[in-house]
Amino acid sequence: MGMFDHVNCKYPLESPEELKDWNIDTKNIEFQTKDFENLMETYIIQENGDLWKKHEEYKWVDDDNAFLKGYMNVVSSEDKPHPYHGILEFYCYEDLDEKDGKHYVYSALYNAKFNDGKLVEIQSIDLKVEDVTEHKKKMDEFFRKEREKRNRFINKYFLCTKPVFFIRRKIVRLAYKWYTLNQYLYNCIARWI
């Protein structure tokens, strides 16, 4: 999927009628977008239609128990206006609770047109609450079979171990190097002929 940015929309959005059954307000949903720098930053569409960006300053904290012997801690956070000009596409895919023995998801896609950080209009492109019970059953069955495969004796203790993966990776790299060498030699010979 890659990196993206977050969008919090406090501006009133159109939503399907079925969404009211789950007591979900679109102002509390964290949307995603790929129209900015994709650095996991947060943008806010204010109630009056202004676009703001959350600016955060970080400081490195040494911690021997952390993965990299430390982590970045937020020192200060400030919201500032963001002078974006263009169309911002933001979307969400929310997992809803089960209802009547069925599993539902809410997906939404919006286009917001901005002129120097001011909202001109918002269009709802795709709004739907879907029953994904069958899909969820298929995915659960797939993952159950994969767990069974992985837990078989031969896979667990021989084929799916770190040394075997290491050897496979080395063989694939050597085969790729051999292939590229052959391609290089073929191209050199073809040029001379």
Rounded Cα–Cα distance for residues 163 and 170 (Å) = 11
Q: What is the mean pLDDT of residues 164-175?
A: 92
pLDDT tens-place string over residues 102-119: 888 999 999 999 999 999
Query: Is the predicted pLDDT of residue 159 greater than 70, yes or no?
Result: yes
Q: For residue 72, give the H/E element and its range.
A: strand 70-81
Q: Where are the alpha helices (H) located in 56-157, listed in sequence order?
A: 133-151, 153-154
Give DSSP secondary structure letters for 100-115.
TTEEEEEEEEEEEEEE
The single-letter code of the amino acid at 31 is F
CB 6 within 8 A of CB 30: yes
- For residue range 64-101, what is the model confidence (pLDDT) as tens digits? 998 888 999 999 999 999 999 999 999 999 888 788 88
Cα–Cα dist 5/112, whole Å: 15
pLDDT of residue 98: 83
Query: What pLDDT shows up at residue 1?
Result: 57
Structure tokens at 118: 């001011």
Reported pTM? 0.69
Mean pLDDT of 20-33: 86
